[in-house]
A = this chain, B = another copy of it.
Protein backbone atom coordinates (compact mmCIF):
# COMPACT_ATOMS: atom_id res chain seq x y z
CA UNK A 1 0.00 0.00 0.00
CA UNK A 2 1.57 3.23 -1.09
CA UNK A 3 1.22 6.69 0.36
CA UNK A 4 -1.57 7.74 -1.89
CA UNK A 5 -3.70 4.87 -0.89
CA UNK A 6 -3.13 5.69 2.72
CA UNK A 7 -4.62 8.96 1.61
CA UNK A 8 -8.05 7.50 1.59
CA UNK A 9 -7.37 4.89 4.19
CA UNK A 10 -6.31 7.11 7.01
CA UNK A 11 -3.90 4.55 8.34
CA UNK A 12 -6.69 2.89 10.29
CA UNK A 13 -7.49 -0.70 9.66
CA UNK A 14 -10.42 -2.33 11.27
CA UNK A 15 -9.85 -5.77 12.76
CA UNK A 16 -12.39 -6.97 10.31
CA UNK A 17 -10.10 -6.00 7.45
CA UNK A 18 -12.93 -4.17 5.73
CA UNK A 19 -13.18 -0.78 4.11
CA UNK A 20 -10.98 1.97 5.37
CA UNK A 21 -12.10 5.40 6.36
CA UNK A 22 -11.31 8.69 4.71
CA UNK A 23 -8.31 10.15 6.51
CA UNK A 24 -10.07 13.44 7.18
CA UNK A 25 -12.40 11.70 9.61
CA UNK A 26 -10.49 12.48 12.79
CA UNK A 27 -11.21 14.21 16.11
CA UNK A 28 -10.36 17.67 14.77
CA UNK A 29 -13.09 17.33 12.16
CA UNK A 30 -15.38 19.11 14.57
CA UNK A 31 -16.62 22.51 15.63
CA UNK A 32 -14.25 24.46 17.81
CA UNK A 33 -16.89 24.95 20.46
CA UNK A 34 -16.79 21.26 21.28
CA UNK A 35 -13.21 21.71 22.37
CA UNK A 36 -13.77 24.97 24.24
CA UNK A 37 -16.67 23.29 26.00
CA UNK A 38 -14.46 20.34 26.82
CA UNK A 39 -12.00 22.69 28.47
CA UNK A 40 -14.73 24.47 30.43
CA UNK A 41 -16.10 21.10 31.60
CA UNK A 42 -12.64 19.96 32.53
CA UNK A 43 -11.94 23.21 34.35
CA UNK A 44 -15.27 22.84 36.20
CA UNK A 45 -14.19 19.42 37.40
CA UNK A 46 -16.77 17.63 35.33
CA UNK A 47 -14.46 14.91 34.06
CA UNK A 48 -16.40 12.28 35.99
CA UNK A 49 -19.82 13.43 34.90
CA UNK A 50 -21.62 11.00 32.67
CA UNK A 51 -24.15 11.95 30.09
CA UNK A 52 -26.60 10.54 27.59
CA UNK A 53 -27.06 12.22 24.20
CA UNK A 54 -29.69 11.41 21.57
CA UNK A 55 -28.93 11.79 17.88
CA UNK A 56 -32.16 12.28 15.92
CA UNK A 57 -33.88 14.31 13.22
CA UNK A 58 -37.08 16.31 13.49
CA UNK A 59 -38.49 15.99 9.98
CA UNK A 60 -38.33 13.48 7.17
CA UNK A 61 -36.74 14.86 4.02
CA UNK A 62 -38.26 15.37 0.56
CA UNK A 63 -41.85 15.85 1.83
CA UNK A 64 -41.77 12.17 2.64
CA UNK A 65 -42.73 10.23 5.74
CA UNK A 66 -39.68 8.02 6.20
CA UNK A 67 -35.91 8.25 6.37
CA UNK A 68 -33.27 5.58 5.83
CA UNK A 69 -30.65 5.55 8.57
CA UNK A 70 -27.12 5.28 7.18
CA UNK A 71 -23.59 6.15 8.23
CA UNK A 72 -23.36 3.95 11.33
CA UNK A 73 -20.30 1.99 10.25
CA UNK A 74 -18.41 5.23 9.69
CA UNK A 75 -19.38 6.40 13.17
CA UNK A 76 -18.06 3.20 14.71
CA UNK A 77 -14.78 3.46 12.82
CA UNK A 78 -14.49 7.01 14.05
CA UNK A 79 -14.95 5.89 17.67
CA UNK A 80 -12.44 3.13 17.12
CA UNK A 81 -9.77 5.53 15.92
CA UNK A 82 -10.65 8.48 18.15
CA UNK A 83 -7.39 9.94 19.37
CA UNK A 84 -5.76 13.38 19.25
CA UNK A 85 -2.33 13.20 17.64
CA UNK A 86 0.59 15.21 18.92
CA UNK A 87 0.20 17.52 15.95
CA UNK A 88 -3.50 18.01 16.79
CA UNK A 89 -2.55 18.99 20.31
CA UNK A 90 0.08 21.41 19.03
CA UNK A 91 -2.46 22.98 16.73
CA UNK A 92 -4.98 23.33 19.56
CA UNK A 93 -2.36 24.95 21.78
CA UNK A 94 -1.88 27.64 19.17
CA UNK A 95 -5.57 28.00 18.43
CA UNK A 96 -7.35 28.00 21.78
CA UNK A 97 -7.22 31.23 23.79
CA UNK A 98 -4.14 31.79 25.90
CA UNK A 99 -4.18 30.65 29.47
CA UNK A 100 -5.45 27.11 28.89
CA UNK A 101 -3.87 24.91 31.53
CA UNK A 102 -1.23 22.54 30.26
CA UNK A 103 -2.82 19.55 32.02
CA UNK A 104 -5.86 19.87 29.80
CA UNK A 105 -3.80 19.10 26.74
CA UNK A 106 -2.39 16.05 28.47
CA UNK A 107 -5.92 15.00 29.29
CA UNK A 108 -6.94 15.46 25.64
CA UNK A 109 -3.90 13.57 24.44
CA UNK A 110 -5.00 10.53 26.47
CA UNK A 111 -8.66 10.59 25.52
CA UNK A 112 -10.19 7.67 23.69
CA UNK A 113 -13.77 6.51 23.18
CA UNK A 114 -13.21 3.46 25.37
CA UNK A 115 -15.68 4.50 28.06
CA UNK A 116 -18.42 5.38 25.63
CA UNK A 117 -21.37 3.12 24.89
CA UNK A 118 -23.18 3.61 21.61
CA UNK A 119 -26.64 2.20 20.94
CA UNK A 120 -28.11 2.43 17.50
CA UNK A 121 -30.83 1.28 15.20
CA UNK A 122 -29.45 -1.05 12.52
CA UNK A 123 -27.96 0.74 9.53
CA UNK A 124 -30.35 0.60 6.58
CA UNK A 125 -33.49 0.62 8.73
CA UNK A 126 -36.33 3.06 8.14
CA UNK A 127 -36.35 5.66 10.87
CA UNK A 128 -38.71 8.38 11.94
CA UNK A 129 -38.60 11.89 13.39
CA UNK A 130 -37.78 12.18 17.11
CA UNK A 131 -36.88 8.52 17.58
CA UNK A 132 -33.14 8.67 18.28
CA UNK A 133 -31.25 6.69 15.68
CA UNK A 134 -28.16 6.74 17.88
CA UNK A 135 -27.96 7.03 21.65
CA UNK A 136 -24.61 7.63 23.30
CA UNK A 137 -23.70 7.25 26.94
CA UNK A 138 -20.42 7.98 28.61
CA UNK A 139 -18.20 10.65 30.13
CA UNK A 140 -19.78 14.03 29.42
CA UNK A 141 -16.63 15.50 27.90
CA UNK A 142 -15.96 12.74 25.44
CA UNK A 143 -19.55 12.26 24.30
CA UNK A 144 -19.78 16.02 23.78
CA UNK A 145 -16.58 15.95 21.71
CA UNK A 146 -18.08 13.35 19.39
CA UNK A 147 -21.10 15.45 18.39
CA UNK A 148 -20.13 17.22 15.18
CA UNK A 149 -18.28 14.36 13.57
CA UNK A 150 -21.10 11.90 14.24
CA UNK A 151 -23.62 14.36 12.82
CA UNK A 152 -21.46 14.88 9.74
CA UNK A 153 -21.19 11.14 9.21
CA UNK A 154 -24.90 10.43 9.68
CA UNK A 155 -26.60 13.46 8.14
CA UNK A 156 -25.56 13.25 4.53
CA UNK A 157 -25.35 9.45 4.51
CA UNK A 158 -28.95 9.13 5.66
CA UNK A 159 -30.17 11.90 3.39
CA UNK A 160 -28.51 10.28 0.39
CA UNK A 161 -29.71 6.76 1.19
CA UNK A 162 -33.23 8.10 1.63
CA UNK A 163 -33.09 9.99 -1.64
CA UNK A 164 -31.82 6.92 -3.46
CA UNK A 165 -34.50 4.74 -1.90
CA UNK A 166 -37.14 7.18 -3.12
CA UNK A 167 -35.78 7.04 -6.67
CA UNK A 168 -35.84 3.27 -6.44
CA UNK A 169 -39.47 3.31 -5.34
CA UNK A 170 -40.65 5.51 -8.21
CA UNK A 171 -38.51 3.71 -10.79
CA UNK A 172 -39.80 0.29 -9.77
CA UNK A 173 -37.84 -2.88 -9.20
CA UNK A 174 -36.97 -3.70 -12.76
CA UNK A 175 -35.37 -0.49 -13.92
CA UNK A 176 -31.65 -0.10 -13.30
CA UNK A 177 -30.48 3.03 -11.54
CA UNK A 178 -26.93 4.36 -11.85
CA UNK A 179 -25.41 7.24 -9.92
CA UNK A 180 -23.58 9.69 -12.22
CA UNK A 181 -23.14 12.62 -9.86
CA UNK A 182 -19.43 12.90 -9.05
CA UNK A 183 -18.86 16.10 -11.00
CA UNK A 184 -21.71 17.90 -9.26
CA UNK A 185 -21.09 16.72 -5.70
CA UNK A 186 -19.64 18.72 -2.82
CA UNK A 187 -16.08 18.05 -3.77
CA UNK A 188 -14.27 14.74 -3.99
CA UNK A 189 -15.48 13.10 -0.83
CA UNK A 190 -19.02 14.39 -1.25
CA UNK A 191 -18.93 12.44 -4.49
CA UNK A 192 -17.65 9.29 -2.83
CA UNK A 193 -20.29 9.46 -0.09
CA UNK A 194 -22.95 9.97 -2.75
CA UNK A 195 -21.85 6.85 -4.61
CA UNK A 196 -21.72 4.74 -1.49
CA UNK A 197 -25.03 5.74 0.02
CA UNK A 198 -26.97 5.81 -3.22
CA UNK A 199 -25.91 2.19 -3.59
CA UNK A 200 -27.10 1.55 -0.04
CA UNK A 201 -30.43 3.15 -0.86
CA UNK A 202 -31.04 0.86 -3.81
CA UNK A 203 -29.04 2.06 -6.81
CA UNK A 204 -27.35 -0.59 -8.93
CA UNK A 205 -24.03 1.09 -9.51
CA UNK A 206 -22.08 4.26 -10.03
CA UNK A 207 -19.87 5.89 -12.63
CA UNK A 208 -17.36 6.80 -9.90
CA UNK A 209 -14.40 4.46 -10.33
CA UNK A 210 -12.79 5.24 -6.98
CA UNK A 211 -16.07 4.49 -5.22
CA UNK A 212 -16.05 1.18 -7.05
CA UNK A 213 -12.56 0.46 -5.87
CA UNK A 214 -13.05 1.58 -2.28
CA UNK A 215 -16.51 0.20 -1.63
CA UNK A 216 -16.75 -2.64 -4.12
CA UNK A 217 -19.74 -1.11 -5.89
CA UNK A 218 -20.41 -1.97 -9.56
CA UNK A 219 -19.13 0.79 -11.85
CA UNK A 220 -20.69 1.57 -15.19
CA UNK A 221 -20.11 3.87 -18.09
CA UNK A 222 -19.58 4.09 -21.83
CA UNK A 223 -18.56 7.33 -23.52
CA UNK A 224 -19.38 11.01 -23.70
CA UNK A 225 -20.38 13.29 -26.56
CA UNK A 226 -16.73 14.28 -26.84
CA UNK A 227 -15.93 10.77 -28.04
CA UNK A 228 -18.44 11.03 -30.84
CA UNK A 229 -17.40 14.55 -31.86
CA UNK A 230 -13.73 13.59 -31.84
CA UNK A 231 -14.37 11.84 -35.19
CA UNK A 232 -15.63 13.79 -38.17
CA UNK A 233 -15.41 11.27 -40.99
CA UNK A 234 -14.80 7.61 -41.68
CA UNK A 235 -11.51 8.61 -43.24
CA UNK A 236 -10.22 9.19 -39.73
CA UNK A 237 -10.70 5.56 -38.76
CA UNK A 238 -7.21 4.15 -38.50
CA UNK A 239 -8.42 0.72 -37.41
CA UNK A 240 -11.37 -1.00 -39.00
CA UNK A 241 -10.52 -4.63 -38.35
CA UNK A 242 -11.89 -6.89 -35.70
CA UNK A 243 -11.66 -10.61 -35.11
CA UNK A 244 -14.76 -12.69 -35.67
CA UNK A 245 -15.72 -13.91 -32.21
CA UNK A 246 -15.98 -17.55 -33.25
CA UNK A 247 -13.65 -17.95 -36.25
CA UNK A 248 -10.98 -15.47 -35.12
CA UNK A 249 -10.71 -14.22 -38.69
CA UNK A 250 -10.04 -10.48 -39.03
CA UNK A 251 -12.84 -8.63 -40.76
CA UNK A 252 -13.59 -5.03 -41.66
CA UNK A 253 -16.26 -3.84 -39.24
CA UNK A 254 -16.80 -0.58 -41.09
CA UNK A 255 -17.60 -2.41 -44.29
CA UNK A 256 -20.27 -4.47 -42.53
CA UNK A 257 -21.67 -1.36 -40.87
CA UNK A 258 -21.86 0.64 -44.07
CA UNK A 259 -23.69 -2.19 -45.80
CA UNK A 260 -26.24 -2.52 -43.00
CA UNK A 261 -26.62 1.23 -42.84
CA UNK A 262 -27.80 1.35 -46.42
CA UNK A 263 -30.42 -1.34 -45.75
CA UNK A 264 -31.49 0.31 -42.52
CA UNK A 265 -31.85 3.65 -44.22
CA UNK A 266 -34.84 2.23 -46.13
CA UNK A 267 -36.29 0.35 -43.21
CA UNK A 268 -36.12 3.37 -40.91
CA UNK A 269 -36.87 5.97 -43.56
CA UNK A 270 -33.77 8.00 -42.72
CA UNK A 271 -31.33 9.22 -45.34
CA UNK A 272 -27.73 8.08 -44.87
CA UNK A 273 -26.60 11.47 -46.08
CA UNK A 274 -28.45 13.24 -43.34
CA UNK A 275 -26.89 11.10 -40.66
CA UNK A 276 -23.47 11.91 -39.30
CA UNK A 277 -20.50 10.10 -40.76
CA UNK A 278 -18.33 11.17 -37.82
CA UNK A 279 -20.80 9.51 -35.50
CA UNK A 280 -20.63 6.31 -37.54
CA UNK A 281 -16.85 6.36 -37.41
CA UNK A 282 -16.87 6.96 -33.66
CA UNK A 283 -19.30 4.10 -33.07
CA UNK A 284 -17.30 1.72 -35.24
CA UNK A 285 -14.13 2.55 -33.34
CA UNK A 286 -15.90 2.14 -30.01
CA UNK A 287 -17.34 -1.18 -31.09
CA UNK A 288 -13.87 -2.39 -32.07
CA UNK A 289 -12.67 -1.52 -28.57
CA UNK A 290 -15.67 -3.08 -26.80
CA UNK A 291 -17.25 -5.59 -29.16
CA UNK A 292 -18.94 -7.40 -26.27
CA UNK A 293 -19.86 -4.23 -24.41
CA UNK A 294 -21.04 -1.93 -27.15
CA UNK A 295 -23.26 0.76 -25.64
CA UNK A 296 -23.47 4.00 -27.61
CA UNK A 297 -24.62 7.55 -27.03
CA UNK A 298 -27.11 8.32 -29.80
CA UNK A 299 -28.09 11.95 -29.29
CA UNK A 300 -24.94 13.83 -30.31
CA UNK A 301 -26.43 14.94 -33.61
CA UNK A 302 -29.99 13.69 -33.86
CA UNK A 303 -31.40 10.55 -32.27
CA UNK A 304 -33.87 9.80 -35.03
CA UNK A 305 -32.00 10.94 -38.08
CA UNK A 306 -28.53 9.84 -37.14
CA UNK A 307 -27.94 8.11 -33.81
CA UNK A 308 -30.33 5.18 -34.08
CA UNK A 309 -29.38 4.51 -37.69
CA UNK A 310 -25.66 4.47 -36.98
CA UNK A 311 -26.06 2.45 -33.80
CA UNK A 312 -28.21 -0.18 -35.48
CA UNK A 313 -25.77 -0.42 -38.38
CA UNK A 314 -22.83 -0.99 -36.09
CA UNK A 315 -24.77 -3.39 -33.88
CA UNK A 316 -25.76 -5.47 -36.90
CA UNK A 317 -22.17 -5.40 -38.11
CA UNK A 318 -21.06 -6.70 -34.72
CA UNK A 319 -23.75 -9.36 -34.98
CA UNK A 320 -22.26 -10.53 -38.27
CA UNK A 321 -19.03 -11.13 -36.41
CA UNK A 322 -20.60 -12.97 -33.49
CA UNK A 323 -21.01 -10.14 -30.97
CA UNK A 324 -24.14 -8.76 -29.31
CA UNK A 325 -24.36 -5.03 -28.66
CA UNK A 326 -25.66 -3.87 -25.27
CA UNK A 327 -27.70 -0.81 -26.09
CA UNK A 328 -27.87 2.96 -26.26
CA UNK A 329 -27.83 6.02 -24.03
CA UNK A 330 -30.00 9.10 -24.65
CA UNK A 331 -28.81 12.24 -22.89
CA UNK A 332 -31.15 14.96 -24.18
CA UNK A 333 -34.55 15.63 -25.65
CA UNK A 334 -37.95 14.10 -24.95
CA UNK A 335 -36.99 10.92 -23.17
CA UNK A 336 -40.46 9.36 -23.29
CA UNK A 337 -40.79 9.88 -27.03
CA UNK A 338 -37.20 9.02 -27.90
CA UNK A 339 -37.12 5.86 -25.80
CA UNK A 340 -40.33 4.63 -27.46
CA UNK A 341 -38.91 5.53 -30.86
CA UNK A 342 -35.73 3.62 -30.06
CA UNK A 343 -37.63 0.53 -28.89
CA UNK A 344 -39.80 0.62 -31.98
CA UNK A 345 -36.69 0.90 -34.16
CA UNK A 346 -35.07 -2.05 -32.40
CA UNK A 347 -38.22 -4.11 -32.87
CA UNK A 348 -38.30 -3.32 -36.57
CA UNK A 349 -34.65 -4.25 -36.93
CA UNK A 350 -35.13 -7.44 -34.90
CA UNK A 351 -37.87 -8.56 -37.22
CA UNK A 352 -36.34 -7.50 -40.51
CA UNK A 353 -32.85 -8.84 -39.77
CA UNK A 354 -33.94 -11.84 -37.73
CA UNK A 355 -32.06 -10.76 -34.63
CA UNK A 356 -34.57 -11.27 -31.80
CA UNK A 357 -32.11 -10.08 -29.12
CA UNK A 358 -32.36 -6.61 -30.66
CA UNK A 359 -35.75 -6.35 -28.93
CA UNK A 360 -33.99 -6.49 -25.61
CA UNK A 361 -31.33 -3.84 -26.17
CA UNK A 362 -30.89 -1.66 -23.15
CA UNK A 363 -32.07 1.95 -23.32
CA UNK A 364 -30.33 4.22 -20.81
CA UNK A 365 -31.57 7.77 -20.19
CA UNK A 366 -29.52 10.36 -18.38
CA UNK A 367 -30.50 13.99 -18.76
CA UNK A 368 -31.25 15.92 -15.57
CA UNK A 369 -33.40 13.15 -14.11
CA UNK A 370 -35.15 13.59 -10.80
CA UNK A 371 -37.96 11.88 -8.89
CA UNK A 372 -40.61 13.93 -10.64
CA UNK A 373 -39.13 13.28 -14.08
CA UNK A 374 -39.37 9.55 -13.47
CA UNK A 375 -42.96 9.84 -12.23
CA UNK A 376 -43.86 11.88 -15.28
CA UNK A 377 -42.13 9.43 -17.62
CA UNK A 378 -44.05 6.60 -15.95
CA UNK A 379 -47.30 8.41 -16.66
CA UNK A 380 -46.44 9.16 -20.27
CA UNK A 381 -45.17 5.66 -20.92
CA UNK A 382 -41.54 5.05 -21.79
CA UNK A 383 -39.18 2.24 -22.73
CA UNK A 384 -36.21 3.17 -20.57
CA UNK A 385 -34.40 0.28 -18.87
CA UNK A 386 -31.91 2.30 -16.92
CA UNK A 387 -31.58 5.82 -15.56
CA UNK A 388 -28.25 7.54 -15.00
CA UNK A 389 -28.83 10.19 -12.35
CA UNK A 390 -26.43 12.89 -11.27
CA UNK A 391 -27.06 16.38 -9.96
CA UNK A 392 -30.48 15.93 -8.37
CA UNK A 393 -29.48 12.72 -6.68
CA UNK A 394 -26.19 13.81 -5.14
CA UNK A 395 -27.14 17.34 -4.18
CA UNK A 396 -30.51 16.19 -2.86
CA UNK A 397 -31.79 19.36 -4.48
CA UNK A 398 -35.26 19.13 -2.93
CA UNK A 399 -33.75 19.19 0.52
CA UNK A 400 -29.99 19.32 0.68
CA UNK A 401 -29.61 18.68 4.42
CA UNK A 402 -31.30 16.27 6.78
CA UNK A 403 -30.90 18.31 9.93
CA UNK A 404 -29.96 15.67 12.48
CA UNK A 405 -29.29 17.06 15.94
CA UNK A 406 -27.49 15.73 19.02
CA UNK A 407 -29.12 16.61 22.30
CA UNK A 408 -28.20 16.12 25.93
CA UNK A 409 -31.02 14.19 27.60
CA UNK A 410 -29.48 13.02 30.85
CA UNK A 411 -26.54 13.94 33.03
CA UNK A 412 -25.42 11.95 36.07
CA UNK A 413 -28.75 10.14 36.00
CA UNK A 414 -30.74 13.39 35.98
CA UNK A 415 -32.93 14.08 32.97
CA UNK A 416 -32.37 17.21 30.91
CA UNK A 417 -34.91 18.92 28.72
CA UNK A 418 -34.18 21.60 26.12
CA UNK A 419 -37.16 23.92 25.95
CA UNK A 420 -38.06 26.02 22.96
CA UNK A 421 -40.77 28.45 21.95
CA UNK A 422 -41.40 25.95 19.21
CA UNK A 423 -42.97 22.80 20.72
CA UNK A 424 -41.50 20.68 17.92
CA UNK A 425 -38.05 21.61 19.14
CA UNK A 426 -38.54 20.54 22.75
CA UNK A 427 -36.35 17.52 23.41
CA UNK A 428 -37.55 14.29 24.98
CA UNK A 429 -35.60 14.02 28.20
CA UNK A 430 -34.04 11.02 29.88
CA UNK A 431 -32.47 7.74 28.86
CA UNK A 432 -34.99 6.01 26.64
CA UNK A 433 -35.55 2.78 24.78
CA UNK A 434 -37.32 2.56 21.46
CA UNK A 435 -39.59 -0.20 20.18
CA UNK A 436 -41.31 -0.80 16.90
CA UNK A 437 -44.71 -2.46 17.21
CA UNK A 438 -45.99 -4.54 14.34
CA UNK A 439 -49.44 -5.65 13.27
CA UNK A 440 -50.40 -9.24 12.49
CA UNK A 441 -49.84 -8.68 8.77
CA UNK A 442 -46.22 -7.69 9.39
CA UNK A 443 -46.58 -3.95 8.94
CA UNK A 444 -44.98 -1.52 11.34
CA UNK A 445 -47.71 0.22 13.33
CA UNK A 446 -45.96 2.67 15.58
CA UNK A 447 -42.59 3.47 17.16
CA UNK A 448 -42.78 3.73 20.93
CA UNK A 449 -40.32 5.48 23.22
CA UNK A 450 -40.17 4.47 26.87
CA UNK A 451 -38.02 5.20 29.88
CA UNK A 452 -35.28 2.57 30.14
CA UNK A 453 -36.70 1.54 33.51
CA UNK A 454 -39.99 0.43 31.95
CA UNK A 455 -40.54 -3.18 30.86
CA UNK A 456 -40.68 -3.57 27.08
CA UNK A 457 -44.09 -3.84 25.46
CA UNK A 458 -45.19 -7.46 25.13
CA UNK A 459 -46.72 -9.27 22.18
CA UNK A 460 -50.51 -9.53 22.50
CA UNK A 461 -50.67 -7.08 25.36
CA UNK A 462 -52.41 -3.74 25.12
CA UNK A 463 -50.07 -0.78 25.43
CA UNK A 464 -51.13 2.85 25.70
CA UNK A 465 -49.26 4.95 23.14
CA UNK A 466 -49.42 8.71 23.51
CA UNK A 467 -48.51 11.57 21.22
CA UNK A 468 -45.52 13.18 22.94
CA UNK A 469 -47.04 16.67 23.00
CA UNK A 470 -50.73 16.50 22.23
CA UNK A 471 -52.55 15.36 25.33
CA UNK A 472 -55.65 14.01 23.67
CA UNK A 473 -53.93 11.97 20.99
CA UNK A 474 -53.70 8.46 22.41
CA UNK A 475 -54.15 4.93 21.12
CA UNK A 476 -54.11 1.42 22.54
CA UNK A 477 -51.92 -0.85 20.49
CA UNK A 478 -51.82 -4.63 20.71
CA UNK A 479 -48.64 -5.63 18.91
CA UNK A 480 -48.26 -8.95 17.12
CA UNK A 481 -44.54 -8.47 17.12
CA UNK A 482 -42.29 -6.14 19.10
CA UNK A 483 -38.88 -5.11 17.86
CA UNK A 484 -36.44 -3.55 20.25
CA UNK A 485 -34.79 -0.95 18.03
CA UNK A 486 -31.48 -0.42 19.80
CA UNK A 487 -28.48 -2.68 19.83
CA UNK A 488 -25.24 -1.96 21.63
CA UNK A 489 -22.82 -1.31 18.78
CA UNK A 490 -19.87 0.05 20.72
CA UNK A 491 -18.84 -0.68 24.31
CA UNK A 492 -15.61 -0.91 26.29
CA UNK A 493 -13.59 0.18 23.29
CA UNK A 494 -14.95 -2.47 20.95
CA UNK A 495 -17.44 -2.82 18.16
CA UNK A 496 -19.94 -5.28 19.63
CA UNK A 497 -21.91 -6.43 16.62
CA UNK A 498 -20.93 -8.23 13.49
CA UNK A 499 -21.23 -5.35 11.06
CA UNK A 500 -23.16 -6.04 7.89
CA UNK A 501 -21.47 -5.59 4.53
CA UNK A 502 -22.57 -2.78 2.27
CA UNK A 503 -24.58 -5.34 0.28
CA UNK A 504 -26.32 -6.49 3.43
CA UNK A 505 -27.17 -2.92 4.43
CA UNK A 506 -28.54 -2.41 0.93
CA UNK A 507 -30.78 -5.46 1.31
CA UNK A 508 -31.83 -4.31 4.76
CA UNK A 509 -33.14 -1.06 3.24
CA UNK A 510 -35.51 -2.93 0.96
CA UNK A 511 -36.58 -5.35 3.68
CA UNK A 512 -37.19 -2.54 6.11
CA UNK A 513 -39.14 -0.49 3.56
CA UNK A 514 -41.40 -3.50 2.96
CA UNK A 515 -42.57 -3.35 6.57
CA UNK A 516 -43.97 0.12 5.91
CA UNK A 517 -47.51 0.46 4.64
CA UNK A 518 -47.69 1.91 1.13
CA UNK A 519 -49.58 5.00 2.25
CA UNK A 520 -46.52 6.03 4.31
CA UNK A 521 -44.31 5.64 1.25
CA UNK A 522 -46.35 7.23 -1.53
CA UNK A 523 -44.96 10.37 -3.15
CA UNK A 524 -48.02 12.58 -2.88
CA UNK A 525 -49.35 13.38 0.59
CA UNK A 526 -48.07 10.31 2.37
CA UNK A 527 -49.62 9.41 5.73
CA UNK A 528 -47.33 10.24 8.65
CA UNK A 529 -46.08 7.20 10.53
CA UNK A 530 -46.86 7.41 14.24
CA UNK A 531 -44.20 7.98 16.85
CA UNK A 532 -45.43 7.74 20.42
CA UNK A 533 -44.30 7.74 24.03
CA UNK A 534 -45.46 5.51 26.84
CA UNK A 535 -47.86 6.99 29.35
CA UNK A 536 -45.08 6.92 31.91
CA UNK A 537 -42.67 8.81 29.65
CA UNK A 538 -45.42 11.26 28.70
CA UNK A 539 -45.98 12.22 32.32
CA UNK A 540 -42.27 12.37 33.01
CA UNK A 541 -41.69 14.77 30.09
CA UNK A 542 -44.54 17.04 30.97
CA UNK A 543 -43.70 17.24 34.67
CA UNK A 544 -40.13 18.16 33.82
CA UNK A 545 -41.30 20.67 31.24
CA UNK A 546 -43.46 22.50 33.76
CA UNK A 547 -40.64 22.47 36.32
CA UNK A 548 -38.27 24.06 33.82
CA UNK A 549 -40.46 26.54 31.97
CA UNK A 550 -40.57 29.93 33.68
CA UNK A 551 -44.06 31.31 34.31
CA UNK A 552 -44.44 34.46 32.27
CA UNK A 553 -45.97 37.66 33.57
CA UNK A 554 -48.05 39.92 31.39
CA UNK A 555 -48.62 43.50 32.41
CA distance A470 to B87 in the complex (A): 59
User: Using an 8 Å CB-CB cutoff, how does the interface string of A194-238 with B read, 1 for contact, 0 for none?
Assistant: 100000000000011110110000011111111101101000011
Does B292 lie within 8 Å of A22, measured CB to CB?
no
Expressed in whole angstroms, the minimum distance between the Cβ of A458 and any Cβ of chain B is: 34
Q: Which of B232, B288, B394 contacts A43 (CB 8 A)?
A: B288
In the assembled complex, which residues on chain B have CB atoms less than 8 Å from the CB atom of A193? 186-187, 190
Expressed in whole angstroms, the minimum distance between the Cβ of A5 and any Cβ of chain B is: 6
In the assembled complex, which residues on chain B have CB atoms less than 8 Å from the CB atom of A220? 32
A497: interface (CB < 8 Å)? no
A450: interface (CB < 8 Å)? no
CA distance A396 to B550 in the complex (A): 38
Residue from A51, A186, A551 having most chain B Cβ neighbours under 10 A: A186
A498: interface (CB < 8 Å)? no
The interface-forming segment of A34-42, A110-118, A373-381, A434-442 is A34-42
In the assembled complex, which residues on chain B have CB atoms less than 8 Å from the CB atom of A156? 185-187, 190
Contacts of A225-276 to chain B: CB distance below 8 A: 225-227, 229-230, 232, 237-239, 274-276
CA distance A208 to B553 in the complex (A): 41
In the assembled complex, which residues on chain B have CB atoms less than 8 Å from the CB atom of A291? 99
A500: interface (CB < 8 Å)? no
A517: interface (CB < 8 Å)? no
In the assembled complex, which residues on chain B have CB atoms less than 8 Å from the CB atom of A10? 3-4, 7
With known contacts A32-B220, A209-B30, A152–B230 Cβ distance under 8 A = no
A306: interface (CB < 8 Å)? yes
Does A290 lie within 8 Å of B36, measured CB to CB?
yes
CA distance A42 to B301 in the complex (A): 24
In the assembled complex, which residues on chain B have CB atoms less than 8 Å from the CB atom of A45? 238-239
CA distance A315 to B405 in the complex (A): 30
A543: interface (CB < 8 Å)? no
Contacts of A96-132 to chain B: CB distance below 8 A: 97-99
Closest B residue to A284 using CB positions: B44
User: Using an 8 Å CB-CB cutoff, how does the interface string of A317-338 with B read, 1 for contact, 0 for none?
Assistant: 0000000000000001100000
Does A35 lie within 8 Å of B155, measured CB to CB?
no
Q: Which of B53, B182, B186, B397 contacts A185 (CB 8 A)?
A: B186
Residue pairs across A and B with Cβ atoms less than 8 A apart, 16 shown, are: A2-B87, A3-B12, A28-B209, A29-B188, A29-B191, A33-B224, A36-B222, A91-B209, A97-B293, A148-B182, A152-B183, A156-B190, A190-B190, A274-B553, A332-B425, A395-B400
Give the interface of A toward B (CB within 8 A). Answer: 1-12, 22-26, 28-37, 39-46, 49, 51, 53, 81, 85, 87-88, 91-92, 95, 97-99, 140, 144, 147-149, 151-153, 155-157, 180, 182-194, 207-210, 212-213, 219-227, 229-230, 232, 237-239, 274-276, 285-286, 288-293, 300-302, 305-306, 332-333, 391, 394-397, 400-404, 406-408, 411, 414, 416-422, 425, 548, 550-553
Nearest first, the 7 A-B pairs at minimum CB distance are: A7-B23, A3-B11, A189-B189, A186-B190, A33-B221, A32-B221, A186-B186
